[in-house]
Structure 1
Amino acid sequence: MTDETPEVGQRARAERFTGRRVLVTGGSRGLGEQVVRLLLSEGAGVATCARKPEFLETLRRSSGRADALFTRSLDVAVPGPLEQFVEEAASTLGGLDGVVACAGGARGQGISEATAQDWSATWEVNVGHAARLIATSIPHLRAAGGGSVVVVASISGWKPGPQAQYGAAKAAQIHMVSSLARELAGDGIRVNAVSPGSMLIPGKRWDRMRRDDPPAFDRFRDEFPGRELVLPEEVADVVAFLLSDQSRAVTGANIPVDRGQNAPTPDGY
């Protein structure tokens, strides 16, 4: 039992990131956008990057707190610009209390068709970018007395599905998190992973399937015990929890947010 009223609880939630500085990669659309908007709504100063400047500008105009949002257009898979962005973000925000490696993706098809470049590109945009983001952020998190790192992985990291290069990269992210949580604990830095299931994001694959091929979408819903896909807002709530002091005893964890999903794609396995 608690003596806290609902109003007090809501006020504490609205203020839990006041004065905090958080960097989020891939924050212009989808899950990353939801994380950025949630952090801004709860008082954080936020820095985010994405490849397309027009999406960043749309985010800025609609954020309601443009003065608290620092953006930069770049490709996280390219070494150099991301590291420079971390330094610029820390300087602009006055430090960093948390970072979220949200950018990700995949390239190539099955093992017979995928090239070495497909495997390399998929690794770099997922594992490589997250590793370089964390490494560059450590001095700033250490200067803040510690902080929280969240890596957005996927249930594809342990639930088999096509393509193998994507699942292998996500599995590597999850392992990296468990290792770095121990390595950085002495600096007061927590490191965790969030593994979303298939998210229903407007304009993306599952939303297009729902619109263009309702029977296939209905079959895919059978992979979920409750027959409902995950919403990006639901995943963003878990990311924010891991960034907050509410999770101060949580590190080295991989938290699935998948509604109990079975296969990660309609293609089975």
Structure 2
Amino acid sequence: MVNVDESPSLRERYVPAGWPGMRGKRVVVTGGTRGLGEGVVRLLLAEGAHVATCARRSAGLTALGDSLAGDERARLFTDALDVTEPGRLEDFVTAAAKRFGAVEGRANGRDDMDGLDGLVACVGGSRGGTFEQADGADWAATWELNVGHTARLVRAALPRLRAAGGGSVVLIGSVSGWKPGPPAQYGVAKSALIQLAASLARELGPDRVRVNVVAPGSMLIPGRRWDRMRREDPRAYEAFVGAELPTGAPVTPHEVARTVVFLLSDWATGVSGVHLPVDRAQNAPSPDGY
């Protein structure tokens, strides 16, 4: 059984794999201070990319920056914002592109290099409880957080992706988006991302923009749901893992992050329109699955 507390340190885990074409790429990641988002940001920086990330709380962004040193810290741009607030996400994308353009422009003696090479729509979540408990506002908020913010991110970044000659977009779905389990509003929103990726892959293909969706399974993240269950109710945790995860352990954020960064890299230039589960062959998404 994997134990979170026995996992290697962040600095040891996020070692560059040397994927072709990642060094110097300019990537925007929403929700990059915790869990999977943080893992993606750290791995991208380790691979030599310039990364812009946002989160609602400035404290998390400050902690992320303070944990980095030297060149990695210099290649990180952050902003505190709520991705559902009108205009703020679009302003963040513009600011990130200008920041990247200024850095690259100084290196190349040009002032017109504010393109982007990649996006990761990592912010997500759910509001409301069961179907009977969740009202219309809960459904709308869950949709906006997962699907609305993703659509707005891609739309805001599209001119910059075109300016760079194309790029890679990775949407973060969930095992709940293709295997049934409550809450329904979350599963429905995540399932919409599968359709969105397939549709945008076709529509944006002529612009050399690839779009894929990665669907993580239940991730073992310190302090989050599965880690709390493992510590507070180990019998229930072991029953869930034993019944639903044939490998005997949930997937780790780092395993998912490696898949995301692979799809952003030039090793994946032939991959677009794909729904890619990273879940260790998980069955039901939770102990409450059907």
The alignment's TM-score, normalised by the length of structure 1, stands at: 0.94
- Aligned with 1:181 (options 187, 196, 201): 201
In structure 2, the partner of 1:219 is 239
Map 1:9-158 to 2 at 5 A: 13=18, 16-64=21-69, 65-94=72-101, 95-158=115-178
Any stretches of 5+ residues in structure 2 without a counterpart? 1-14, 102-114
In structure 2, the partner of 1:6 is none
Amino acid at match of 1:216: A
Between the aligned partners of 1:69 and 1:253, the Cα distance in structure 2 is: 28
Higher mean C-alpha deviation, range 14-23 or range 122-131: 14-23
Q: 1:72: how far off?
A: 0.3
- Aligned with 2:277 (options 252, 256, 262): 256
Q: 1:203: how far off?
A: 0.6
Between the aligned partners of 1:131 and 1:11, the Cα distance in structure 2 is: 30
Q: 1:14: how far off?
A: 6.3
Q: 1:85: how far off?
A: 0.1
Deviations 1:168-196 (A, max 9, x none): 00000110000000000010000000000
- Aligned with 1:167 (options 176, 187, 195): 187
Deviations 1:12-59 (A, max 9, x none): 716642111000000011000000000000100100000010000000
Amino acid at match of 2:73: A
- Aligned with 2:267 (options 216, 229, 246): 246
2:37–2:122 Cα contact (<8 Å) kept: yes
Q: Aligned Cα RMSD in Å?
A: 1.2
Q: Secondary structure at the match of 2:61?
A: helix
2:216–2:279 Cα contact (<8 Å) kept: yes
2:19–2:265 Cα contact (<8 Å) kept: no
Between the aligned partners of 1:79 and 1:190, the Cα distance in structure 2 is: 26
Q: 1:110: how far off?
A: 1.1
Amino acid at match of 1:182: R
Cα gap change, 1:123/1:231 in structure 2, threshold over 3 Å: closer, same or farther?
A: same
Q: Secondary structure at the match of 2:119?
A: strand
Higher mean C-alpha deviation, range 135-144 or range 16-25: 16-25
1:198–1:229 Cα contact (<8 Å) kept: yes
Between the aligned partners of 1:66 and 1:226, the Cα distance in structure 2 is: 36
Between the aligned partners of 1:112 and 1:135, the Cα distance in structure 2 is: 34
Deviations 1:127-168 (A, max 9, x none): 000000000000000000000000000111110000000000
2:214–2:260 Cα contact (<8 Å) kept: yes
Between the aligned partners of 2:194 and 2:181, the Cα distance in structure 1 is: 17
In structure 2, the partner of 1:193 is 213
Cα gap change, 1:149/1:14 in structure 2, threshold over 3 Å: closer, same or farther?
A: closer
Identity of paired residues, percent? 60
Q: What is the total number of aligned residue pairs between the two structures?
A: 260
In structure 1, the partner of 2:12 is none
